[in-house]
Amino acid sequence: MLKIDGLTKAFKDRKAVDNVSLEIPDGQIVGIIGRSGAGKSTLLRMINRLAEPGEGRILFGRRDITTLKGRELHAWRATCAMVFQQFNLVGRLDVITNVLTGRLYHHGLVASLLQHFTAAERAYAIKALDRLGMAHTALQQADTLSGGQMQRVAIARALVQEPKLLLADEPIASLDPLNAKIVMDALRTINREDGITVICNLHTLDTARTYCDRIIGLAEGKVVFDGNPEQLTMRMAREIYGAEAEEAFHEGMTSTSLNGQPAKPALSAAEIAKAQIAKAEALVG
Ligand SMILES: Nc1ncnc2c1ncn2[C@@H]1O[C@H](COP(=O)(O)OP(=O)(O)OP(=O)(O)O)[C@@H](O)[C@H]1O
Ligand SMILES: [Mg+2]
């Protein structure tokens, strides 16, 4: 169980997250929704301790996460894997090495610097890639992949951390609808098969409704909705999204974003091919 109690974080005198209290039982898949600036990323980053909590506490089981330091904080970040909108792969490294960097949390500094991984770890990384339909790209340089493929590799990297929690900050915001579906299906499979709790900031209400057991709506740093998808009525959507509610409530996965920005389309196959040709030409000179 992840327990968040009175969590607050202010930047200057503005509260990004304002007195949030939540209990998230193990194995849930939770969608966090809200307008741009509602505090979704700040909340997720505090759970991972990428952002320092101001007031309040974060507990996982009986452990107080809020005060962890040094080695214990490092271990928490292994337990609590994170996936980002921009994938955060190392483009010049091959896919398998990118996935294996997820194991670095389990290694000492020297082994990490030498990138010394065991045969069992390599096999585990291939298995993780295979679960995401990406094993065939293991030796490919990461920056030759499409956006959807990159995100699947990032999820494989998260998996080899052997986390109990997976935090995803708008994991599909840069993807086209098909890749968005593949990535969300993968998150759901991991949640169901491995029992990993998934907490996912989402752009589109429709995605949250389709994939999440529970939806949490944030507005100006506060929880204004916490319930299952069926409970999310138009009136609640208004509370979460304000003037954008109508559009948010009726939109499908393919339409524009909810948080005031236009949806960012992923690169088309033609654009990727063009970029790859340009890169190859640059290499040849
Ligand atoms: N490092 C920071 N320094 C100053 N202000 C910040 C910082 N990070 C976030 N904020 C502010 O905190 C508020 C919440 O930001 P946050 O990024 O958590 O929102 P969000 O819901 O994730 O928005 P989006 O949908 O655009 O990603 C915003 O007003 C933002 O400007
Ligand atoms: Mg954000």
Helix (H) or strand (E) holding 280: helix 269-284
**Helix, strand, coil % (nearest 5) of the chain?**
45, 20, 35
Ligand having the closest approach to the CA of 84: 2
Domain with 14, as residue range(s), is 2-90+155-284
| Ligand 1 close to Cβ of residue 212 (< 6 A) | no
Report yes or no on 112 lying in a domain: no
pLDDT at 113: 63
Report yes or no on 116 lying in a domain: no
Tell me the CA–centroid distance for residue 171 and ligand 2, in Å. Answer: 11
Ramachandran angles phi, psi of 17, nearest 5°: -130, 130
Report yes or no on 129 lying in a domain: no
- The enclosing domain of 280 has a CATH number of 3.40.50.300
**Whole-structure pTM value:** 0.86
Report yes or no on 167 lying in a domain: yes
Per the document, the length of the chain is: 285
**Residue 1 structure tokens:** 């169980």
| Secondary structure of residue 219 in the 3-state scheme | strand
Report yes or no on 113 lying in a domain: no
| Ligand 1 close to Cβ of residue 174 (< 6 A) | no
Report yes or no on 244 lying in a domain: yes
Report yes or no on 168 lying in a domain: yes
- What tens digit of pLDDT does each residue of 5-60 get? 999 999 999 999 999 999 999 999 999 999 999 999 999 999 999 999 999 999 99
Tell me the CA–centroid distance for residue 38 and ligand 1, in Å. Answer: 7
Residue with tokens 């670095």: 104
**Count of the separate structural domains present in the chain:** 1
**Residue 63, strand partner residues:** 60
Report yes or no on 219 lying in a domain: yes
- What tens digit of pLDDT does each residue of 111-159 get? 666 677 889 999 999 999 999 999 999 999 999 999 999 999 999 999 9
Residue 259 alpha carbon, nearest atom of ligand 1: 25
Residue 201 alpha carbon, nearest atom of ligand 1: 22
Residue 17 alpha carbon, nearest atom of ligand 1: 14
